[in-house]
Chain A
Amino acid sequence: MTEPQPAGTVVIVDDDASIRQSLATLMDAAGFSTRCHESGDALLECEPPDGPACLLLDLHMPGTSGIEVQRQLCMQGYDMPVIFLTGHAEVHAAVDALKGGAADFIVKSEFRPADLVAQIRSCFDHHADTLDHKRRKADLCQCVERLTRRELEVAVLAAGGTTNHVIGMQLGISERTVEIHRGRAMKKLELRTAAELARLHDDLLEISEKH
């Protein structure tokens, strides 16, 4: 039996050891790698796992509550989806959790393991996309570092769909000069087509504004 590459890491936070154990076993069986913490504070002391991940967070725990943990993780830049588990169906807590960006809110007595596994799988996919986008954005940042200021200006405008002629008029340079800047920028950004450039428009705009 060959171990497939884990789809992601499930981080389980629950003060009840039997819950931690059973969920870990279930996630393991589903082919996920797991990490367990017995409290929110213990979780906050650790680095987030590499790769796609999902947090199964008990709402009611001794010490920091689930909602507070979610809030602090958010502040620390954690981006993994959070699924709350709770013994009670509490509307207010559920509303707070979902406002805070929770992916789901599951009442333990209505717990269906297969559904949870499916839910976690979709969380992984979502997180993977997030991570991918983050990584690409980081790569783009590095490339942009190589661009001159004028080249970045032209690239942003060009990515927005503005023609060379109009860019020249806006920047007060000739159309020919625009063409040269654009060519260099494409080369530095390792792009070949205008469509590829257009896809980076938002990210380029964001980066250019930081400069």
Chain B
Amino acid sequence: MSWAFLGLEFRWVVHSVLDSGEHSNAVPDESGLFDSLLGLSDLLVVVLDATGTIRLFNRSCETLTGYAADEMIGQSIWSSPLIPEDEKPPILRAIASVRAGASDFRHVNHWQTRAGELRLIHWRNTVLRDGNGDIHRLFATGIDATEQERAVHARDHQRRELHRLLDAFPSLVACLDRNLRVCFANHGYRDWFNLEPADQVGRHVEEIIGARAFEVLEPHFRAALDGQKSIYHGEVPYSHGGTRFIHGTYVPSRDDAGNIEGIYLLAVDITREHRLHWQLVEQVRRSKAIVDNALDGIICIDTHGRIVGFNPAAEQIFGYASREVSGKNVAILMPERTGDQHDDFIRSYFENDNNGNVVGERREVTGRHRDGTLIELLLAVTEIKDREHYFIGFLQDISQRKQAEREARYHFTNLAHVTRVGALGEVAAGLAHELSQPLTAIAANAEACLMRVAATDSTDPVLEPALRQISNQSQRAGEIIDYLRRFLRNDHSGDLETCTPGELFDRVLMLLHHEIHVSNIQVLRDIDHHVQPCTLNRVQIEQVLFNLVKNAIDALEKVGSRRELQLRCGMSSSPDAWKVSVGDNGPGMQPEHLERLFHPFFTTKSDGLGQGLPICRTIVERHGGCLEASVRPEGGMMFSFNLPLDSPNHD
């Protein structure tokens, strides 16, 4: 209800109150209406006379105060319990000013109810004067503003609370209007920029944060003004206090009608967190680089033996990709027997109060490659006891190293052997020289005796053949020694000679005559009569034949009976070449192992060098030929090589 409307109605009220007690029949209906209005109105209506005596106290007043109109009418307002004592003087001063001429005035004061509650009333007063201009009646209408007052108070309180709360945030909180001027700024502005928040109100945000920062953030301000929540996560070069890494949130603020009246901004400084984050990222990246590029295989397992980390070197070692083994039990990387026990190892490790001897020691272990082959590994285990418990294994594939060690040992043995062979060559050369003297003497003496026997016409049937034998055998001994010496010595080995296969076979068989004889081996020689002489390095080719025949003899040792050694030489055409083969009916070998025969150090003999066949192949190849091994269909081995008659220059 507006005051203007009330003013219009006063006319009625005034008449009624003025005429009360001097009853008039002129307007009986209007008087009833007036009473009804006063009773219905929420407005507090009080009428005082010039002495302050209450002449009217309407229904609303009764309801508000708890005092009945009957109690109050006739009482002076100043002696009534309605107005608190300390509020009376200002009212009296107001009334006094009214006496001086004004007709309308307003004031606010409390009424104390019967229950003792203070109600805040906004009063609008008007005075009715008599013919002398003196106050006849004081007409007061009031509205109980207690609830409104309380609401305002509560709102102010809330706002202060809110501001205190916002101030307590370790962040920047502000409210900007549509023109990006600050409506509110929390204490963050003091903490961040050393600016007094209250002083920022009304300033444009760019003035506060600086042009460069504004450039970064403006799109987000604009987005919020356009009604979208916007988030900025990044660095902002503030003019005060330097660059910060922030997480900023910008949301539109709307009035009750939903119109955007500005933006709220909340910025959290995460510079330190960001730095820590990046340090952590860097650290993780560094660690990952180390792990990924480590020469050692690095495998991490949990306490259940499940693989949780598998670096590229480990992938290399085991042939598994990291994703294939992730989450699987580490036992798949071990030989079955060890793998089955591994879970027990881990269990016992914990049961024995971590006193196992696994962690911190380097051990040689055997691993299993994806393809099933076993790998020799050097293993060191360490554990991480953090929120989770992990074991980390560092692995080196030492298969090659072990192989190298074995080979080195083997080489050393071989070297010793080769040295002995070399020494033997020297000894043989010296021996040949020493033996040639007595053999020459024997031959000469035998021949002398033969001559004498011939001269005497002796008829002794034993003497002459015996002497002939002495002569022949000493010559043979000389030849053997001479050949042995040349075979063992390297000099003149580049000389080419023209030979027939028969000569070569003879010489080799002569050197191995004893072995062949003792082993009771039958030698089958088969030389094609079309074979033409060949120009070759006789000593070298004899060495090849010697090796092949010696191997055959060794193989035949394993045969119970009917040992056969087959030496063949035929011709092959285009190009014209010898085709020489050495066969035996020994145990032979698996065809898939044939090629390994020519690998250095491959040997089946306990005292073998594993060098014979590789050297043989080299020699034959230098003669433009090719040495091959095969398994004979009827059993046993067959080594064959060809020698072109027009061989290339061998050296």
Contact = CB atoms under 8 A, between A and B. Distances in A.
| Chain B binds chain A | yes
A77 B120 CA distance: 169
Contact of A28 (B438, B439, B448, B481): B448
Interface in A15-69: 16, 18-19, 21-23, 25-26, 28-30
B492 to A, nearest CB: 8
B447 A110 contact: no
Contact of B439 (A23, A26, A108): A108
Interface in A106-136: 107-114, 117
Given A22-B448, A29-B452, A30-B451, A109 B482 contact: yes
Contact of A111 (B432, B440, B448, B492): B440
A114 B437 CA distance: 17
A111 B475 contact: yes
A109 B443 CA distance: 10
Nearest to A30: B451
Nearest to B444: A22
B545 interface: no
B441 A109 contact: no
B479 interface: yes
A100 interface: no
A114 B467 CA distance: 13
B451 A29 contact: yes
Size bracket, chain B contacts = 20 to 34
A6 interface: no
B451 A19 contact: no
Contacts of B437: 16, 18-19, 87, 108
B448 A113 contact: yes
A187 interface: no
B433 A26 contact: no
Contacts of A87: 432-433, 436-437
Contacts of B448: 22, 25-26, 28-30, 113
A150 interface: no
Interface string B444-461: 111111111001100000
A88 B433 contact: yes
Interface of B: 432-433, 436-452, 455-456, 471, 475, 478-479, 481-482, 492
28 contacts: A16-B441, A18-B438, A22-B442, A22-B444, A25-B444, A26-B444, A26-B445, A26-B451, A29-B449, A29-B450, A29-B452, A87-B436, A87-B437, A108-B436, A108-B478, A109-B479, A110-B478, A110-B479, A110-B482, A111-B443, A111-B475, A111-B478, A113-B443, A113-B444, A113-B447, A113-B448, A117-B447, A117-B451
Given A19-B440, A19-B441, A109-B482, 7 more contacts: A19-B437, A28-B448, A29-B449, A87-B437, A108-B440, A109-B439, A109-B440
